[in-house]
Amino acid sequence: MSDITMPNVAAIERSRHGSSIGQPVTRREGHLKVTGQAGYAADYNPPGLLHAVMAVSGISRGRVTHLDVAAAEAHPGVVKVMTPANAPKLAKSPDDKDHGFMFRMNVLQNDSVRFANQPIAVVIAETLEAATEGVALLRPRYAEEPARIGLDGSAAFALQAVGAGAPAKGGIGDIEAGLAEAATRFEATYETPAQYHNPLEPHATVAEWDGDKLVLHTPSQGLTMAQGRIAGLFGIDPANILIKSPFLGGGFGAKGLFSGPQVLGIMAARFVGRPVKLVLRREQMFGPVGHRGETRQTLRLGADSTGGLTALEHNTLTTTSFYDDFFEPAGTTSRHLYASPAIATSHEGVRADIGTPIFMRAPGEAPGSAALECAIDELAVKAGMDPLDFRLRNYAEIEPITGKPFSSKALRQCYAQGAARFGWASRPRAPRQMRDDDGLLVGWGVGTATFPAMIFPSEARAVLRVDGSARVEIGAQDMGQGAWTSLAQIAADGLGVDYDKLDLEIGSSALPTGGIAGGSAGTATAGSAIHHAAADVIKKLAALATSDERSPLFGAGNSGVVPRDGRLVRQDDESRGESYASILARAGLAEIDGKGSAGPNPSMQESYAMHSHGAVFAEVKVDPDFGQIRVTRLVGAFAAGRIINPRMVRSQYYGGMIWGVGFALHEHAAADPRSGRLMNANLAEYHVPVNADVPLIEAILVEEHDPHVNVLGLKGVGEIGITGTVGAIANAVWHATGVRARAFPITLDTLLERPGDI
């Protein structure tokens, strides 16, 4: 045996940084997940459970005139059928809106049909199979009215607000004057389709009532909001509602706001007086739980003879439902990204017989940056400039409309590092210049990525125990992004304990409110509250030690001590300190706890513009005869402040960029133009990228220090990967083929239609 002992590199790394933050630790719950022990909502089977299946509408507009309830109830195993005729009345109309963040639901309060796949009944049975057959036996009949579908299905109207309440219009300067003085002008219209979130885990509820107390297992990206919504609808105290959501199989925004089908699951349990499980079928994910609305975006741009933008106009038309308002804020990207003396953005809405759209991963930025990045590229080409040089020429040193400085912005480094890694410098300017050995057309494109850095209100509790272990509690949610891990890293550092001694609890509404896991703000939101809770504990502990003359820290003053590896030490002399255990033991305490909260900081928001940035470079190959496209290489360089866990962050960037591949080339909901029904409402036909579509992908983590954005200096990483990627791919397709495809997804027939080709 060798007497050499290999060093424990991980431990050394950690001690060198004195920190868990920054370490690429693997997922804490990874083992549970790969061994099937991570319990998702639908895995929960309380005694006496019944199964509910929704019947959904086959028409897009009209009324249900008949349901064969008798046939369904006669089917063996069926317990009851819930229809508008007998469904429990709610304490509050699901059509009431107390505020803009409350969305209308279709939960069997009347017989109207407002979109295809709207729930029209719920069959509750002893088995899933019996409930499913009960639904088939209902054989609904309808009084159907003609469906109004798509961006031209009804009249456009002006809007006040888009997305989460951003103004529909925004700009600066005089567009017409800017265009008039431009040496190069460009105008084009881009279209993006309706897209449906489709997390792998469909919405599911297991609801158990006990009097007016409710225990609910359901995936949620915002537990406190869900609790409030349920309380309002059922007329009960929020404190009587316990929601458990420890693991989500993805959300992407579809699980951000409580949805109608989840309410139906709760109603069904009340209706039959037994625990009920309701899991959406895949096709039912296409309608009642939100989607990204279609957009048609028209951009007009001008540039002077040096390539400087003189005008940037971005007008968006987007669909919403006939019964509620949510508008894809596609134009907002143009308010932040490029410097121009004249910027104008506006949005108009169109109503259609569809379920109301909702936030979907990078709402606004995804379709908006797709169009903007294509238009910028087209203008660059027209102005005779390299597309990357053109972007650098129009680099925004301050946020163009507000004039605020950026809290940090390492976009230049993103461009530089991404371009170097990709090999951009050798790109020929003109299209159709590159072929591979097989004769396939090769093209390279670039796009700028951007996403705002946000934070939501949240609270956390932290506890240090005399045995040196610690615990942090917060009702945050892990959608799969790694919150179980990265929040524990933040907590361990805040408390100055080893990561392995830190016990984290998230995913329950019984915990302090964790805010929302959305807007790429989950880590900033929950992490900041955790950080403050930990600081509170340390402060209390320091007060105990520094005021006790038996402590080596006596007299150091509260602010003169810092936490280090389970000890408090003097800041001016780290060799002098005392362990938490001894401080607590002397004070006769088994543990000590603290609280913290976080939220937006209005004065910082006043002073700074806060965004993550990045640059994405794409290589595509196109078959010159068939128009089939494949992305063969993606390099993204992103700057998002402090990186808590590079492994998790990289995987968020990969996921975003892959989503961008799907946006550019695959994803679209195909509505029948007559009925409005979605004809590809399944994962065989609703295409997202598969492994073979993403052969080589790299994410570069560009260093960025942000002292302003929040206490941890971190920005969001979850959504930014989509932005930039879509445009980069479309621009690469042009560079390969010379064809500008302006409708997404770009399909092979678009390229076959090149004039003079066939």
Partner 1 sequence: MRPFAYDRPTTIADAVASGAQPETAFLGGGTNLLDLMKGNISRPARLVDVTRLPGLSTIEWLQDGGVRIGALVRNSDLAHDPRFANRFPSVAEALLSGASAQLRNAATAAGNVLQRTRCQYFYDAASVCNKRDPGTGCGAIGGLTRLHAVLGWSEHCIATHPSDFCVPLVALDAVVEIEGRAGRRDVPLEALHRLPGNTPERETVLEPGDVITAIRLPAEAAAYAGNARYLKVRERTSYAFAVVSAGAALRLDQGTIVSARLALGGVALKPWRARAAEDLLAGALPGATVFRDAAALALAEARPCGDNGFKIELARRIIVRALTLAAAGTPDRVPALPASPFALAPTQEVSAHV
Positions that interact with partner 1 (CB under 8 A): 58-59, 76, 116, 129, 132-133, 136, 283, 437-441, 621-628, 630, 665-666, 670, 672-675, 677, 679-680, 682, 684-685, 687, 689-693, 737, 739, 747-749, 751-754, 757-758
Least gap, CB of 430 to partner 1 (angstroms): 15
Q: How far apart are CA 123 and CA 51, in angstroms?
A: 8
Place of tokens 């297991």: 206
DSSP state at residue 672? -
Q: How far apart are CA 568 and CA 263, in angstroms?
A: 49
Q: Could you tell me which residues come within 8 angstroms of residue 390 by beta carbon, excluding any fewer than 6 positions away?
A: 303, 307, 376, 379, 380, 383
The answer to whether 613 and 638 are in contact (CB under 8 A) is yes
**In whole angstroms, how far apart are CA 730 and each of 206, 299, 356, 451, 745?**
43, 16, 28, 20, 9
Tell me whether residue 124 or residue 529 sits nearer to partner 1 (CB atom).
124
Locate 14 and state its tokens.
């950690």
Q: How far apart are CA 225 and CA 231, in angstroms?
A: 10
Radius of gyration from C-alpha coordinates of the chain: 28
Tell me whether residue 24 or residue 673 sits nearer to partner 1 (CB atom).
673
Q: Which residues, in sequence order, are bridge partners of residue 158?
A: 348
Least gap, CB of 535 to partner 1 (angstroms): 49
Cα atoms in the Cβ-side hemisphere of radius 13 Å centred on 553: 28
Least gap, CB of 630 to partner 1 (angstroms): 5
| 719 given a catalytic annotation | yes
Least gap, CB of 2 to partner 1 (angstroms): 42
Least gap, CB of 263 to partner 1 (angstroms): 24
The answer to whether 674 and 147 are in contact (CB under 8 A) is yes
Tell me whether residue 55 or residue 616 sits nearer to partner 1 (CB atom).
55
Q: Could you tell me which residues come within 8 angstroms of residue 180 by beta carbon, excluding any fewer than 6 positions away?
A: none
Tell me whether residue 181 or residue 693 sits nearer to partner 1 (CB atom).
693
Q: Which residues, in sequence order, are bridge partners of residue 729?
A: none
Least gap, CB of 271 to partner 1 (angstroms): 23
Residue 521 CA to its chain's centroid (Å): 9
Q: How far apart are CA 756 and CA 168, in angstroms?
A: 41
Closest by alpha carbon to 319, among 154, 206, 459? 154
Q: How far apart are CA 363 and CA 598, in angstroms?
A: 24
Angle CA(418)–CA(292)–CA(63) in degrees, nearest 5? 170
Length of the chain equals 758
Tell me whether residue 97 or residue 754 sits nearer to partner 1 (CB atom).
754
Q: Could you tell me which residues come within 8 angstroms of residue 115 by beta carbon, excluding any fewer than 6 positions away?
A: 57, 60, 61, 106, 287, 288, 321, 353, 354, 355, 676
Q: Which residues, in sequence order, are bridge partners of residue 594?
A: 462
- Widest pairwise Cα distance in the chain: 91
Least gap, CB of 412 to partner 1 (angstroms): 34
SS3 508: strand
Closest by alpha carbon to 351, among 389, 317, 304, 311? 317
Q: Which residues, in sequence order, are bridge partners of residue 217?
A: 206, 244
Least gap, CB of 735 to partner 1 (angstroms): 13
Q: How far apart are CA 457 and CA 108, in angstroms?
A: 33
Q: How far apart are CA 657 and CA 643, in angstroms?
A: 18
Tell me whether residue 58 or residue 173 sits nearer to partner 1 (CB atom).
58
Place of tokens 């979850």: 718
Q: How far apart are CA 424 and CA 416, in angstroms?
A: 10
Tell me whether residue 196 or residue 638 sits nearer to partner 1 (CB atom).
196
Least gap, CB of 396 to partner 1 (angstroms): 36
The answer to whether 41 and 251 are in contact (CB under 8 A) is no
Residue 742 CA to its chain's centroid (Å): 25
Q: How far apart are CA 318 and CA 327, in angstroms?
A: 6
Tell me whether residue 420 or residue 679 sits nearer to partner 1 (CB atom).
679
Least gap, CB of 284 to partner 1 (angstroms): 12
Place of tokens 């809106």: 97
Q: Which of 283, 667, 719, 753 is catalytic?
A: 719
Tell me whether residue 6 or residue 758 sits nearer to partner 1 (CB atom).
758
The answer to whether 737 and 623 are in contact (CB under 8 A) is no
Least gap, CB of 137 to partner 1 (angstroms): 9
Least gap, CB of 698 to partner 1 (angstroms): 19
Single-letter amino acid, residue 655: G
Q: How far apart are CA 638 and CA 453, in angstroms?
A: 13
Residue 745, preceding peptide bond in cis (omega within 30° of 0): yes
Tell me whether residue 91 or residue 752 sits nearer to partner 1 (CB atom).
752
Least gap, CB of 433 to partner 1 (angstroms): 13
Tell me whether residue 432 or residue 708 sits nearer to partner 1 (CB atom).
432
Locate 45 and state its tokens.
């089977």
Place of tokens 């990265």: 486
User: Which residues are tagged catalytic?
Assistant: 719
